[in-house]
Structure 1
């Protein structure tokens, strides 16, 4: 469903959290303590509502509506404790958190709580940061942003313009969906998981991004960890004590050779991976991986992985036989594997044996990938260091159609 409000919506700290959102910005930064000092957020709202920008999303303003408009009284529903909880909740909901920090201590714009919020949100993937050239005590914040290779703006207009460029057209979300920020919502990883969640009548009640990893400091998300509260329709209960790890789906290739002794030889990859938990210290797995480019044919990815990790280039795509697609670790990760097989010729098999014998290394060095080719017989599988997911894929690929 795609819905869109064509007008800008202001949500103040004495307003409820909206139940639907298309795109949203939280205006974080110092608030004047003196009611006679005009809040910088008026300039931000004016810029966003201008004819040249015509921003049509939600703006979270962490000030009571009456205070913002200078009506000399705050809402009867406003309390300091409510202000704190509202700010935490709406920063969590917002697609982007724009920190504009005109810090002038003698003018009552110290921004002490802003420092706390900045520290909490710096790794959220949602920060856009700026401050005037002459703002006080922003050096630490500048340095942290530069360490993350994120821009530091010196005008409010440029700060907001960058935020708008990141939001794009947005995406309509309602109810529990509003807790999923745009940069996660738009990923194939999330949409694949979420479409299956809804398919059986379940619903996302609430969520929180605990961690994410982007590719080479771009906006493209490689993986994330999402805490979730899910209504399970079949059981009429909530599940809220787990998280979902998601990464890009992978293509896996089982390359095998039928030897004269009727045994089957399989190409495996030996590689150090940080989570490895066996007495050998290396992961043993089928060649496989994912593409950083969107919408790449999984069969083509399988071909490239066989070349990158085994040194074998096979151009005839008809030789790659599709086996199926399944999840690998359903209690932890939502990603799936596309599985293919290819029967090697004698020449290709001998080339692999030579690659193994010479202890030649493969992989993509810029990704810190270093792999070794290992050939193994079916009779050796159960005594190998292969994990259960790999064993399952191998047996399924070889024997499921027999």
Structure 2
């Protein structure tokens, strides 16, 4: 187990890490609860072999002589902020006593900052004072509240599992982000281009349930650009799961091509109609799902169209959708509809029939757009690009 104290630098290598957050004793003769935490982590029932961040200078923690002037309050704040970002989990143990021994004022601030970071584990003794608010916030997030330090730490270690080896700038990527396909895909290509991740900070993330997984995240990054011999550190990476998109089309008697378009309300839409117009598309909660089956599923879910013969789906290519904003990519497929399928789509368009997943508040409508109408449609540039790529660059016209 690697102990990293407040007067130590951020480690250059981690596999899994825990930050021991919570009040520190204000009286010189009081024993810091983190000694008990270290004993628990070393016990045979837990046997933790990762990194532990301890927000106390090393000599002070062990009660040996040290020069207080060698470590300033500003140093302490900077170290705590950085290492809480680095840590894979932040374990809050709050044995609060407001009579001056351990009021935990700073703990309240840190708890509020970290509440939605996706890394928090929380516990407090049954006799801890003024913890009802913290309890309530954890319960609102459907996260457990522990009343023993050992149980708190045991739960944290179980969440970390075997961890993942990270070095240099990689240590700034929390384990639960590191393990996502979204991150690994982006990071693989960053390294392939010869660039280097120097530093990062998780700004926000969104989790989906059933099964629970990271759907998207926002990550500030500092990147060394090898080809330009400079750093870039004024941008963030928005990442969401890759999507599968389907261009379903019908060639009528006069050789005009009609395309199935999905109309749906999305809060980010910025047009006078208030709805997005797009190809049937979406992502799977399973990283092992074949993108072609995801395309089939989206066609069923958003258009009510079931295609049993998977060979009808033609893979076009994979491209990033909005490279200046998001790292996610689209796997594009095309499928030529039969006359019966086309007429069924038209009937549902006339009926204004809705599709989608109600549990996800998804409500989609169908509309057929001919090639000649594209320039007058509300399709955005990414959708127009997919249509152009599928129909013209791949010679399906």
TM-score by length of 2: 0.98
Match of 2:226 in 1: 233
- Structure 1 counterpart SS, 2:99: helix
Q: Show structure 2 runs of 5+ residues with no match.
A: none
* 1:372 corresponds to 2:371: no
**Distance in structure 2 (CA, Å) of the matches to 1:77 and 1:220:** 44
Q: Show structure 1 runs of 5+ residues with no match.
A: 1-7
Number of corresponding residues: 395
User: Would you say the 8 A contact 2:246–2:335 is kept in 1?
Assistant: yes
- Structure 2 counterpart SS, 1:246: strand
* 1:193 corresponds to 2:170: no
**Distance in structure 2 (CA, Å) of the matches to 1:189 and 1:278:** 29
Match of 1:36 in 2: 29
* 1:49 corresponds to 2:42: yes
User: Would you say the 8 A contact 1:67–1:74 is kept in 2?
Assistant: no
Match of 2:3 in 1: 10
**Distance in structure 2 (CA, Å) of the matches to 1:278 and 1:184:** 33
Match of 1:333 in 2: 326
Match of 2:154 in 1: 161
User: Would you say the 8 A contact 1:66–1:74 is kept in 2?
Assistant: no
Judging changes above 3 Å, is the alpha-carbon distance between structure 1 residues 62 and 218 closer, same or farther for their aligned structure 2 residues? farther
- Structure 2 counterpart SS, 1:355: helix
Q: Within 5 Å, which residues of 2 pair with 1:138-177?
A: 138-177=131-170
**Distance in structure 2 (CA, Å) of the matches to 1:119 and 1:397:** 48
Runs of 4+ in structure 1 over 6 Å off: none
User: Would you say the 8 A contact 1:133–1:154 is kept in 2?
Assistant: yes
* 1:354 corresponds to 2:336: no
Match of 1:128 in 2: 121
- CA RMSD of the aligned region, Å? 1.2
User: Would you say the 8 A contact 2:211–2:285 is kept in 1?
Assistant: no
TM-score by length of 1: 0.96
**Distance in structure 2 (CA, Å) of the matches to 1:29 and 1:294:** 36
Q: Within 5 Å, which residues of 2 pair with 1:71-90?
A: 71-74=64-67, 77-90=70-83
User: Would you say the 8 A contact 2:316–2:394 is kept in 1?
Assistant: no
**Distance in structure 1 (CA, Å) of the matches to 2:161 and 2:359:** 31
**Distance in structure 2 (CA, Å) of the matches to 1:75 and 1:304:** 63
Judging changes above 3 Å, is the alpha-carbon distance between structure 1 residues 302 and 388 closer, same or farther for their aligned structure 2 residues? same
